[in-house]
Amino acid sequence: MEALGALGAVGAGAALLLGLYALLHYYLGVATRCRNAVSLRGKTVLITGGNSGIGKATAVDLARRGARVVLACRDKARGESAVYDIRRESGNSEVILMILDLGSLNSVRAFAQSFLESEPRLDILINNAGVFMTGQTADGFDQAFQVNHLAHFLLTHLLLDRLKRSAPSRVVTVVSSMHVFGKIDFQTIHKPVEGIWKAPLSYGNSKLANILHVRELANQLEGTNVTCYAAHPGAVRTEIGRSIPWWLHWSFSFMQLFSRDCDAAAQTSIYCATEEGIERLSGRYFVDCQAKVPSPQARDDQLAKKLWEFSERLVGLTT
């Protein structure tokens, strides 16, 4: 009798846990889908880090809409294998690879030059590549700061005339809700830090910088028909945690219990890239295909302008 009671209690407990998991999974895992059927025939899309995760899922969708898709990736073999997959999944053969390593500003300049020489249009730029790690780049900056923010800042600048000439055109930058943990300290934000435990801070800072970049860019682009958006994908099962040590993997695995897949996570990027009529929301932060309010620092126009000028100096556009 007692054994049966215990069994019942265990059963009820298990059912409760399962229900709780289903509920959490529903709220965190089920993304709002981008429902428009906008065609991108005749348009050119450039996606950084399009060989994996959210970028790859975004590339498949935009290729299905008929766009010419350029993947900007650092690794030739991984890039080529993604091009193969994306062509097969989308049925669009106009998917090509160009090499870009955001960890090197010279690579960004060389990439922009060859892109401008070979591609007459740029309708949609998706600043998607990102790292969650610490350490130093070839240029001596913090990895997350440079790869996530500074290199995309320079890339966007170098491609801006082509975007203007192709207007109406768009820039979508993939950001994160983790920007709320970030802060912009001009004494330290660009300086490399060591130790993986500092990665969440570095990452948060870089994602805050991304949102501020989008904000100031929108101000500067007013009246040009080039608009820009910051898109948060939600928590996603991707390879972004690859550089965290094995003994910390459990924390990522635990979070991944509640995360969505890449196709679901790509929806907000796709929405910002294609949805008609959102131009008046240029410069805003989007979650689940809706404009949302980011942290107070991410809405600070003065800070956005200061970060812009700081970034210009770091990449050598001004002295």
Ligand X SMILES: *[C@@H]1O[C@H](CO)[C@@H](O)[C@H](O)[C@H]1NC(C)=O
Helix boundaries (H) for 34-104: 53-64, 76-90
Partner from ligand NAP, ligand X, none binding residue 269, C-beta < 5-8 Å depending on class: none
161 near ligand X, rule: CB under 6 A? no
Partner from ligand X, ligand NAP, none binding residue 225, C-beta < 5-8 Å depending on class: ligand X
Q: Pick the closest to residue 178 from 240, 126, 239 (CA basis).
A: 240
CB-CB contact of 127 with 156 (8 Å): yes
225 near ligand X, rule: CB under 6 A? yes
Closer to ligand X at the Cβ: 51 or 166?
Answer: 166
Closer to ligand X at the Cβ: 91 or 223?
Answer: 223
In the numeric block, which tokens belong to residue 111? Answer: 């990439």
Residue 222 makes CB contacts below 8 A (sequence gap 6+) with 282
In the numeric block, which tokens belong to residue 195? Answer: 């130790």
Interface ranges with ligand NAP (CB under 6 A): 48-49, 51-55, 73-75, 78, 100-103, 128-131, 147, 174, 176, 233, 235-236, 238-240
* Min dist. Cβ of residue 282 to ligand NAP (A): 20
Site string for ligand X, 167-186 (x = CB under 6 A): x-------------------
CB-CB contact of 176 with 232 (8 Å): yes
* Min dist. Cβ of residue 88 to ligand X (A): 36
Q: Is 27 a catalytic residue?
A: no
What is the distance, to the nearest Å, from the Cα of residue 217 to the centroid of all Cα atoms in its chain? 16
Partner from ligand NAP, ligand X, none binding residue 102, C-beta < 5-8 Å depending on class: ligand NAP
Which residue of the set 21, 26, 27, 203 is catalytic? Answer: 203
Beta strand extents in the chain (DSSP E only): 44-48, 68-73, 95-99, 124-127, 169-174, 226-232, 285-287, 290-292
Catalytic residues: 203
Residues that bind ligand X (CB under 6 A): 167, 223-225
